[in-house]
Amino acid sequence: MTYINYIYIDESGDLGLRGSKYFSIAAVITDEPKILNRIIKKLRQTKLKKKIKQLPEIKANNSNRIIKEYVLKKVNSANCQIFAIVVDKSKILSRLYEVKDKLYNYLCGILLDTIDIKYGKIIITIDKKHTNSLIREDFNNYIKKKIGCKDIKVEIYHKPSYSSNELQVADFVVWSINRKFNTGDDYYYKIIEDKIINEQNIMLWNTN
């Protein structure tokens, strides 16, 4: 039986010349995706008011403190790992902003480089940001070449985050990481800190 690593990737911030100071990408990895799925399912059943339950997607940025704490505490106790990179945008060459899709691919590649997977199968699910199939195909080809190995099979799926409870969990995770760096508020970050495997090397292009 093939061992499967499920990786859910989401980002917080923006890759524009202006906007947020930092841009973050996080990957939540598990071999039991049902655990992540149940976090959002139970959230809807037990924590949300009736009118909010009807929303197709639960996002950290639009949630109150109770909901954020609930999701992140469940992540902290779940069978999963978190890897992340945080980019200081002032260190990105201005010309790279003209090829944002390539820049995003490159950053995702760096993130996946931090994850040590030597065997089995990888199923990557990422928020479907583009309607252009050629951009998605370019991402897939780049990532497969980046982590390609004869001992590892890679599948990549682009899904709207409203259709994936697991991606919604990843949204809460990366939001809490980006909030720490953009605002200095590490309250939510500390809830999941023990799950962040590469915490000591999370910064990329930092100002130090």
- CATH number of the CATH domain containing 189: 3.30.420.10
- Residues with Cβ within 8 Å of residue 66, at least 6 apart in sequence: 47
Instruction: Count the neighbouring beta carbons within 10 Å of the beta carbon of residue 84.
Output: 27
The pLDDT tens digits for 41-80 are 998 888 766 656 667 788 999 899 999 999 999 999 999 9
* Total structural domains within the chain: 1
pTM: 0.93
Q: What is the dihedral of CA 33, 69, 173, 36, to 10 degrees?
A: 0
The pLDDT tens digits for 137-184 are 999 999 988 886 667 889 999 999 999 999 999 999 999 999 999 999
Q: Reduce the DSSP state of residue 7 to 3 states and report it.
A: strand
CA angle 197, 172, 51 (to 5 degrees): 160
- CA 185 to CA 190: how far, in whole Å? 10
Domain span holding position 65? 4-204
